[in-house]
Structure 1
Amino acid sequence: MKKTVSYSRRLRTRDAACYCGSTKSTFEKLRLVGDGPTYAKIGRVVVYDVEDLDAWLDSKKHRSTSEYSSSL
């Protein structure tokens, strides 16, 4: 029986921001305030799972400007 290993794709901050159409500095600020996607820190390196980025982007979808939270 052959084992299949599945690896999650992880991106560093700059690549994760680019993937989401944003900038590295915006992602750094989002990490600071806790409003960004979940991430892992390995030593000094911050990485994001592509699946977490997709879920975070999905959570940011709106149909109208009236759907935005008043706490922005």
Structure 2
Amino acid sequence: MRPAPLRPAAAAVATTTPQLQRYLTNDEAADYLRLSPRTLEKQRVIGGGPKFRKFGRRVMYAVADLNTWADQRSYEATSDPEYTEQHAADSRAR
């Protein structure tokens, strides 16, 4: 016996339901990115880190923002012009 096909209305409802945004604490975000929590704290002060949100006194990171930030740091090789330009700017800032 075959299962009954999905009705078009039910399929449309399933695809239009918004995804819930997941937030991580500083320690969880650092673990997710495999960085030190102190690195994220420092980047919040000097800039260059992933977007963060403040809920009262809590600092939270959206998983989507962490993924976007990590994707922006994707290179093919160290000879990639974007890579050398970015790292030259980083060394001048220090």
Q: TM-score, normalised by structure 2?
A: 0.68
SS at match of 1:62: coil
SS at match of 2:40: helix
- What amino acid maps onto 2:76 in structure 1? R
Aligned: 1:33 with 2:51: no
1:35-54 correspondence runs (5 A): 35-54=48-67
SS at match of 1:55: helix
Aligned with residue 15 of structure 1, among 23, 28, 33: 28
Tell me the percent identity: 35
Q: Which runs of 5+ in 2 are unaligned?
A: 1-12
* Structure with greater contact order relative to length (CA < 8 Å, sep ≥ 6): 1
Q: Which runs of 5+ in 1 are unaligned?
A: none
- What amino acid maps onto 1:7 in structure 2? L
Q: CA RMSD in A?
A: 1.9
| Higher Rg of the two aligned structures | 2
C-alpha change, 1:27 and 1:5, in structure 2 (3 Å) is: same
Deviation at 1:65, TM superposition (A): 1.8
- What amino acid maps onto 1:14 in structure 2? D
Greater fraction helix: 2
Greater fraction strand: 1
Q: How many residues align?
A: 72
